[in-house]
Structure 1
Amino acid sequence: MKEGPDIALLGSLIGDPARANMLVALLSGKALTASELAREAGITLQTASSHLKKLEAANLLALRKQGRHRYFALADEDVGALLESMMGLAAKRGMLRTRTGPKDAELRHARICYNHLAGDMGIQMFDSMVHQTFLAEADEVIDLTGNGEAFILGLGLDLKALKKQRRPLCKGCLDWSNRRTHLAGSLGQALLEHFHAQKWAHREEGTRIIRFNDKGTKAFHTLFPMPSGHNG
């Protein structure tokens, strides 16, 4: 009998079209109700509830209760990273369900990936932080350097609190739109929250698109200049 991780089970759970649509909808980082997820998947509430039970049992989803309401969210960043990676491979292999539309370019430019910045701007931020020696990348391990700590503290972020979290401070996430790394982990989330707090950017309601205003775009490029030779 074969032993080890059961990728067939994982593949079957994610591979169902309805479940896949619900999981991708949750990449926005927003918790949704079963009714909302049923609409995203184009199925009945009863069918959606059955799918959600399977995903929750497999620890791919987390259930959150608020009063009488029940909300579903991705279990953690690992699930989000897996979905982004699978979407990237599907795009690279030409496995596209619909023609590209106007919003596709905006999603590729800047979007939320579970709780951190992805797309061209997310990749530029990561590459710039490596180029400025704020991040050190070796053997797929990403560390915040001394220069990086000074930079983060200069932004007014509570680095001590970020380090105390159970999840990694810095983590690479493979971007689906061009198969390059953007920054996840508690630091990736904190930076996106900082952009929102500074009113430099906001998420377009009902989508994963992150829109930077003129002030935010200027500030972003000042903090994270595009490295020389960058071909993003």
Structure 2
Amino acid sequence: MTKKITIAIDGFSSTGKSTIAKQLAKQLGYIYVDTGAMYRAVTLYAMQHDYINEVSFNKESLINDLNNISLSFKFNSDLGFAEMFLNNINVEKEIRTIEVSKLVSQVSTVSEVRKKLVSEQQEMGKNKGIVMDGRDIGTVVFPDAELKLFMTASADKRAKRRYKELIDRGDKVNYEEILHNVQERDRIDSTRKDSPLIVANDAVEFDNSDMGLKEQFERILSLVDDKL
């Protein structure tokens, strides 16, 4: 039987974590879990129930309502990856908007939210053979992961990637707003008290500011091969 490992990919927003994670999962026949999508889905739920907006955040109401939030991934064979479902409704498109991006880091700071999602993530990965990306995978969710990557790139490069992604999708956004969002998320993610975004001691740091997708994939795949 082929040995299976756990691959944990952490890093700043818009560093292409999910792109590389999807590629690796497909190549290896592993399960891919986008933990950012889970936090985005909880944020969307909070927005739909008026618990959060750009000026206020009623944390207590969200905490009291967590038991009514059911998250699941369902594989879409046409797309080649699993989409996020919130209470059995496909929210993959809704959770990728700039409106959700602006608020997700605030929701991610809530310890009760993190506790619920970390528990679900650990359950998903108990049999290994998984690629998971997020902010605290190598430090909190899978501290014993055989391979940990920490993705980074300049804020400017990341904002340009995110801007192109949203424009290509047909969203009306401006670059300055995206850059501000990227910088603000970095600040909140890195300074929150519960599971801040930090580089795990045994993680491989990977700056892809000036790297194409093909080169990045090949270099990371060689790291996976070493572990296997």
- TM-score of the superposition, structure 2-length normalised? 0.32
Instruction: Name the larger-Rg structure.
Output: 1
* Structure with larger RCO (C-alpha < 8 A, sep 6+): 2
- TM-score of the superposition, structure 1-length normalised? 0.32
